[in-house]
Chains A and B, each alone.
Chain A
Amino acid sequence: MNEIVKVVNLKKYFEIYDVKSKEKKYVKAVDGISFTINVGETLGLVGESGSGKTTTGKMILNLMKPTSGDIFLEGKSIKNLNKKEMRSLRKDIQVVFQNPYAALDPKMTIRDILIEPLSIHKIVSKYEYNNEVKRLLNMVGLSEKDMNKFPYEFSGGQRQRIGIAKAIAVKPKFIICDEPVSALDVSVQSQILNLLCELQRDLKISYLFIAHGLSVIRHVSDKVAIMYLGNIVEYGDAKSVFDYGAHPYTKALISSAPIPDPKRKNNGIILKGEVPSPINIPEGCPFHPRCKDAIEICKNKKPFLRKIKEDHMAACHLI
């Protein structure tokens, strides 16, 4: 099998105490999602704020324990790992964060920032640190002269390159990119996206690419999962999902992304209302209060992901 990550029925509920009704309630941040990512592939995870995409990322990184469900890395569950296994997991899974300004220690030089993961995971011997740092900087398109500079001396795009160099330093199999370009300028975004794609080709790394920008997701992903209120509502081959989006939510998201062409006006299906709070997820299909096609069954019964064609699944009663 060339599966690298497999997520099975993953749930994360946060307990909260409601002062008014004096009851325990649950925020259902992630409510039973499953997906697989193959070697060298990218899964794009799309969703609005509160859809649970970052929580999913955190659980895969083992920074947060799932309420139920399981995560497998190369067929091995990441639950109940001992300290040594945990360390090797940390080496295999890396993360690139949204805000490169906050993700780098301002008091460390780039050399020290990059040496830290090398020494913790004993990637190379002490004598090879300098060469390895140079190699990493070259790989992400920075110069070795930058080695002794501090993070503040770099622009946003360059800092994100350093963040990527740090992630690939330990030769991971899998990288979670959590909105890696949304804090960057438009002209720099595409540089970083190209860099991530090149690295994937050269190093055979798999990505979980979390973003809310659909056009970015379309460009980088092989497969796409659309999340809404902790559920995956549509999942499948990226081209198929974008060209033949089946779920009303997917359709609305795709049609509401502004197209940079004044002649093609958005015929946008505009979603009314707001994302409901994950404390009170609506009965039945979580999307039904905002869905213009909702029928009676949508209010009572929650739809499950069903295959609608090869490599394409959607959770909707109407399909």
Chain B
Amino acid sequence: MMPLLKVENLQVSFPWKNKSVKAVDGVSFDVPHKKIIALVGESGSGKSVTALSVMGLIAYEGGKIEGGEIIFDGQEILRMKEKRLSKIRGKDVAMIYQDPMASLNPGISVGDQIRESLLIHKIASRKESKQIALNLMREVGIPDADQRYGSLPASFSGGMRQRIMIAMAISCRPKLLIADEPTTALDVSLQADIMNTLQELKNKIGMSILLITHDLGLVAQHADNVVVMYCGKVMEESPVDKLFEEPLHPYTIGLMNCIPRIDVTQDQLFYIPGCVPSIYDYPMGCRFHNRCSKVKPICREKMPKLINLNDDRKVRCWLYQ
């Protein structure tokens, strides 16, 4: 069966001083139906750029698609005309962002914002849409939906605003929900609740979720498959249980070791030496080689390929080639 979303050799560049820099360099992965796929990476790894490309929004951020394909539900997104794209965007693919306050219009009531895409995509009439919006508010766990329908975003707390964003995103029952760091800006005690709401909605609607995050704890608890990105490249791809059982790429191993654990006491934290290289001067060869503990001479010269180890695991490292 064709996956819901297929990203194939995606390349996105941004202009810089008469030249261009590649933020995403040959990224490929699949999002199967009704699964949660996590894109994990640090700042500059290209995870948000990938997400915006899937939404067909990267041109608005100044990015340029250099090559590759994004096939969503059998349709090629990258070369689609804006008019057709806007029929999919918000309806079949929806997105929630990290900072709900920055993404909601402060001057429009939350109810009207929730029903906006229902009206745009002509799914419901004005009358029906109000009822649907109220149901959506209840569905995502906003208490007193009837009274709060006309309130402005400012009168909601951070967690409630995130719920409003989720209600907006799922209003047209999308097939794919892109969640870009959905809990990073929230308090610890709310994060678990929001993630559970997303899980429940996913099962109810039967959508897939592309979860973009840097939090491996969140990944372990919620994702089915994981794509680890570093400096615009996919370093490792694996089902979640196998990844945590036996991470293959030295970067993944490093990332896992350097999270302080709440369930065990450690004397000293493991760390990856150095810092993420800047996009303007990526090192030659493997982009991780100057921070890698298992570096070999060939790592400094040639970029390894992303190879299939067995059916479901892929890794980009000379140790396995």
Contact = CB atoms under 8 A, between A and B. Distances in A.
Partners in one complex: yes
A190 B192 contact: no
B258 A187 contact: yes
A55 interface: no
Given A258-B218, A272-B193, A218 B187 contact: no
Contacts of B265: 218, 239
Given A187-B276, A190-B260, A214 B188 contact: yes
Interface hub of A187, A253, A254, A263 (most chain B Cβ within 10 A): A187
A216 B272 CA distance: 17
A303 interface: no
A258 to B, nearest CB: 3
A190 B270 contact: yes
Interface in A250-284: 252-254, 256-266, 268, 270-272, 274-275
Interface in B181-224: 187-193, 196, 214-221
A186 B255 contact: yes
Contacts of B269: 190, 193-194, 219
Contacts of B196: 270
Given A158-B275, A215-B262, A275 B187 contact: yes
Interface string B229-263: 00000000000110010000000001110111111
Contacts of B261: 215, 218, 259-260
Interface hub of B159, B187, B196, B268 (most chain A Cβ within 10 A): B187
B320 interface: no
B186 to A, nearest CB: 9
A254 B159 CA distance: 19
A124 interface: no
B266 interface: yes
Contact of A260 (B158, B256, B270, B272): B256
Contact of B262 (A157, A188, A214, A270): A214
Contacts of A265: 221
Interface string B94-120: 000000000000000000000000000
A256 B275 contact: no
A155 interface: yes
A185 interface: yes
Contact of B192 (A194, A197, A270): A270
B262 to A, nearest CB: 4
B192 A268 contact: yes
A117 interface: no
A274 B160 contact: yes
B214 A185 contact: yes
B42 interface: yes
A261 B217 CA distance: 7
Contacts of A254: 262
A194 B221 contact: no
Contact of A258 (B221, B240, B256): B221
24 contacts: A185-B42, A185-B214, A186-B214, A187-B42, A187-B255, A187-B271, A187-B291, A190-B259, A190-B260, A190-B270, A191-B273, A218-B261, A242-B262, A253-B188, A253-B189, A254-B262, A260-B217, A262-B240, A262-B241, A262-B244, A265-B221, A271-B190, A274-B159, A275-B187
Given A187-B42, A190-B272, 19 more contacts: A48-B189, A158-B275, A186-B214, A187-B255, A190-B259, A190-B269, A214-B188, A218-B262, A219-B269, A242-B262, A256-B188, A256-B192, A258-B215, A258-B220, A258-B221, A259-B217, A260-B259, A270-B196, A274-B157
The 6 A-B residue pairs with the shortest CB-CB distance, nearest first, are: A258-B217, A190-B269, A48-B187, A256-B192, A190-B271, A185-B42
